[in-house]
Structure 1
Amino acid sequence: MSTLHEFTTWEPLLHVLRSTHTATPGAPGGHIAGRIATDAYSMSMPWGGTFTMHGHASDAADKEPELDAVQRVRGVLAEAGVDGVSFVTRMSPDGPAALHLLHFGPAVEAEVGGPLPGALVLVEGAVPEPWRRLPDPMPAAELSPAADPAALESFLRERLPDAVGATEAELAEAEARLGVALPDELKALYRVIRARWEDWNGDYESAVQVAEAVGCELLPLDELYIADAASRWLSWRSAALQAEAVDTRSDTAVQGLVGSPGWIVFGDWDGDRLAIDLTPGPGGYTGQVIVLTREESVGAGLIADSLTQLVLPGRVKRGPRSRADVEPPAVAHVNIRSLRSVEAAAHPALEVLSIGRWEGEPLSLEPVVNLPRLRTLRAEPGTLAEPLEISRLTGLEFLELCPQDWRVLLDADAVPRSLLAAGIKVRNDVDPLPVVDLSNEILARWDRPLITRTTLEGNLGPLP
């Protein structure tokens, strides 16, 4: 671990934290917690009692001691090959200080925005159910009447007479790498332009001409990739609580999926990705062009019925079909602003039940006990009338509860064995150490690697 577990490595940071949290050191139960990571996006630091994301302190020009102290630890993390570490410290105004370093390990996701553990992954390699879904077979799916590989190739050769195209051997190599046959329209496109930067001799205008001709920034042939579920990573908790359920209805052109082995990404469209869809929905065409937006991790939108339609001028483009959402949602929120009862959320298609802020009597889970697709439950503290009812939800794969409700389940040995991951619902300002102890108790039930805690002690001297 290099010098990561030496008190002197952390001493400058502890001095800064003690000076900016004058009400905390020495207070009964007082603690200061944060997370430092080599990736600034994953950091959170409690400057002045307020968490700041990405490790940035406000008024950075006036915060050189803070930034220097953080950079000192980040440098040691990088040397040790450690992505990040959470910390909890208790310091006395007189000088004694204890620092607890928390290494989450392979079974725990770090939570962006704080020092607490994120999702506890109880089964190695497990992913949420939407990430496991494969496209439904559509044997009747056909090419669009607008698909015309010959016309597409002819148009592009006219627009890009000096372009360097791919050879048949290069096309075959791309197919072998991807494990799927390229559709005729895509091969026609790359026969004209293989989109390698070296082919343009550093001429940016040539790249612009290609983008204007094709309608997007074309990926080089050897950078085509399959937009399967693994290519659209999301944290376990976020994925399990997806607000947009994955579904495919009878009139949809694009199947409601996280990813598909038939989505071949070929272009960049203002930061979003364009793909050829070889696994269309019941209302779509094989080879249609879809967009995977960077804001979403589920689903894709329809752009054109074919690549020919996308590229050739005068061909009508089309976007996602709008349709009334007449069926109850697969994700239900019960709280003071949304649904007012668990009964109102219960229906056979329900997958995710989220119980939030509640001012009435605690709620029973009886109405959702036998629902076949319920996979996720999260409940705010004090919202459940009887936490042990959770043991009857035999299909749950993700469960997020407050420590008190987890305690009830653990003491009764009633945690559903179907769980693949779990979360502990607490405020970001709570002491992480009891949360870590509870997390390890849950992890131990599945024989998973535990969160390790290393305690360092030293003396900072009295406050000035």
Structure 2
Amino acid sequence: MSALNDFATWEPLLRLLRSAHAEKLAAPGGYVAGVIGRGSSTVPLKWRSPEPGRASLLSDYQAQHDAIRRVRAVVPDTGSGGVAFTVEIAPEGRAVLRLFDLGPAAGSGPGNAHPRVLVRVEGAVPEPWRRRPEPVPGVRSAPSVDPEALERTLRERIPGAIGATEEEIAAAEARLGVALPEEVKVLYRVTRARWEDWGGHEEAESVHAAVGFELSSLDHLAVFDASSRYFSWEHGAMEVSVTLPDAAVQDLVGSPGWIVIGGTGFGDQVAVDLTPGPRGHLGQVIVVDHEQSIGACLLAESLTDLVANPGRDWSARRSWDRLPFVARVHHRGVPSVEAAAHPDLEVLNLGVWDGEPFSLAPVLALPRLRTLSASRGTLADPREVGRLSGLEFVALTPEDWRVLLDAGAVPHSLSAAAITVNGDRDPRRTIALANEILALWDRPLITETVVHGDLGPLPTSGPESTAGRGGEPQPPRPAGERQGLGRVLPGLPGTPEPGPGPGADG
């Protein structure tokens, strides 16, 4: 029996949850839900505040920390969001713990146990992550490029530095698969920037000051391509990659021509750019902001320019989160779908709206529309989503998904989708809906394992007892399976109620 499915593994956490949510659990149908992953967890426990005048101590939340760590230690390292769970605990102590294995096709939402993103195409990424640099005819190095002046300045600033050999530079080029610009070769001929060559932090700081950034060693040069930036479908599908004619840097997630040679010291990457924008220069120096998903900022037109004029500022501000590429229709944004319609529109977001719901008719024929996100009550007819033949990602409420599924109108072009859940909604119902979508796509379903145990009566005073009587798990089954789902709802013959188990979303 897997330790993850052993009631004893969960017992300390369940006792804390019962103590924190006794009233909710005692109510009819009451449950508590959460997610525990290898790297992070979302568990509804209140952390004890320190006494006024002192800092928090580990002892303030040791019990919570130990209980979560006990489970986390046995969560499989599968790269998914972790294990989602719900638990029901009767007043006398009988506990029903449901563990949901999201599998390779589903991911949990931020901060809750609901399955959020469903992936139809294995390995697919949002369109901006597929965008490659465009060739720029006639692109040249900047007039300021002067390898001799660069070398002379660097040797004056860092005398006695150990430089790389031509063989070492050639080996770096072979590893990267690109020919390095002459300025970069000059830089590393002066100093190969290995830590063991420096006497300590003071010498390292002198090198960084000489070049204008924290220089990486020749051995650590790297290509910053699209795979270098993390993405989630929910976030990535809402982004756009647009390079305008006057741009110095192409608006990309990454490029095979962005060669990282150092950093700013604040998590941002400094790179030489071999795929510049229409107004850029070959070998220009750019900064890739770690807080941005797309784009980079011009730092200097050349390494010669940067070394000669250090201490310059840069800004990573982008303005593509606007019309005509992205339209956010809500009570303080774009006033209508008609106003959002444009041939260049890629992302349409229907946000909080107090008026009549929208028809999608004005955008049905747009050639580039690939992402639709619609909040509750914003779609006049969810079936129109099925007529958007170019969609690769859609985020809808459970209610709109129900209409779309019943009409057989789920777009065939989707690579991924999301179920947008707001408020206190039973995750078991969302899981049943997610499995219906996954089954339509012939994708692996979310499975459920039920573990029974007994915590005994809730003590009337004193801390929760750590003694328990354990339990035996039931084998996994697809979540939402009709067997044993609950009683029949009055007035709806044959419809399972999502009581102790997940039911069909409605």
Alignment partner, residue 464 of structure 2: none
CA gap 1:136/1:318 in 2 versus in 1, 3 angstroms: farther
Q: Which residue of 2 aligns with 1:283?
A: 279
The aligned counterpart of 1:254 is 249
The answer to whether residue 316 in structure 2 is matched with residue 358 in structure 1 is: no
CA displacement, residues 52-99 of structure 1 (integer Å, 9 cap, x when unaligned): xxxxxx986433322221121122237999872111111111111111
Q: Deviations over 1:113-132 (max 9, x none)?
A: 22222311110110000000
Distance 2:83 2:341 in 1: 41
Q: Secondary structure at the match of 2:10?
A: helix
CA distance in 2, matches of 1:275, 1:326: 25
Aligned length: 451
Shift of residue 429 of structure 1?
Answer: 3.4
Three-state SS of the structure 2 residue aligned to 1:378 is strand
Shift of 1:347: 0.6
* Superposition pairs of residues 60-79 of structure 1, within 5 angstroms: 61-77=59-75
Give the corresponding residue for 1:55: none
Partner of 1:54: none
In structure 1, C-alpha distance between the alignment counterparts of 2:103 and 2:417, rounded to whole Å: 15
Equivalent-residue separation in structure 2 for 1:425 and 1:19 (angstroms): 30
Matched, 1:33 2:33: yes
- Tell me the CA shift for residue 329 of structure 1: 3.3
Which secondary structure does the structure 1 equivalent of 2:3 belong to? coil
For residues 103-150 of structure 1, the C-alpha deviation after alignment (integer angstroms, 9 at most, x for no partner) is 222222333322222311110110000000001101210000001112
Q: What does residue 429 of structure 2 align with?
A: 434
| Aligned alpha-carbon RMSD (Å) | 2.4
Q: Give the match's secondary structure for 1:264.
A: strand
Write the mapping of 1:212-361 to structure 2, written as runs, cut at 5 A: 212-242=209-239, 245-271=240-266, 272-313=268-309, 319=314, 328-361=323-356
1: CA distance between counterparts of 2:401 and 2:376? 10
SS in 1 for 2:23: coil
User: Which residue is equivalent to 1:371?
Assistant: 366
Deviates more, 1:417-426 or 1:190-199: 190-199
How far is 1:48 from its partner?
4.4
Whether the aligned pair in 1 keeps the contact of 2:87 and 2:95 (CA below 8 Å) is yes
CA contact (8 A) 1:2 1:80 kept: no
Correspondence for 2:22 = 22
Whether the 8 Å contact between 1:90 and 1:99 is mirrored in structure 2 is: yes
The aligned runs of 1:41-52 (5 Å cut-off) are: 42-48=40-46
TM-score (norm 2): 0.85
In structure 2, the gaps of 5 or more residues are 49-55, 460-506
- Whether the aligned pair in 1 keeps the contact of 2:81 and 2:107 (CA below 8 Å) is no
Which amino acid in 1 is paired with 2:88?
A: R
Contact persistence 1:253–1:283 (CA under 8 A): yes
Contact 1:120 / 1:423 at 8 angstroms: preserved in 2?
A: yes
CA contact (8 A) 2:193 2:216 kept: yes
User: Is residue 2:389 matched to residue 1:394?
Assistant: yes
In 2: Cα distance, 1:285 partner to 1:102 partner: 52
Structure 1 residues 301 and 68: CA distance shift in structure 2, 3 A: same
Partner Cα distance (2:318, 2:290) in 1: 23
Distance in 2 (CA, whole Å) between partners of 1:49 and 1:413 is 46
One-letter amino acid of the structure 2 residue matched with residue 8 of structure 1: A
Q: SS at the partner of 1:4?
A: helix
Give, in whole Å, the separation in 1 of the partners of 2:170 and 2:294. Answer: 30
Q: Does 1:452 align with 2:460?
A: no
Residue 406 of structure 2, aligned match among 402, 408, 411? 411
Q: Deviations over 1:240-264 (max 9, x none)?
A: 122xx31111111111111111111
Identical-pair percentage: 55
1:102 shift after superposition: 1.4
Q: Is the 8 A contact 1:43 1:112 kept in 2?
A: no
SS of equivalent to 2:192: coil
The amino acid across from 2:207 in the alignment is V
Alignment partner, residue 467 of structure 2: none
Structure 1 unaligned runs (5+)? 51-57
Residue 375 of structure 2 aligns with which residue?
A: 380
Q: 1:103 to 1:428 in 2, by over 3 A?
A: farther
Secondary structure in structure 2 of the residue aligned to 1:46: coil
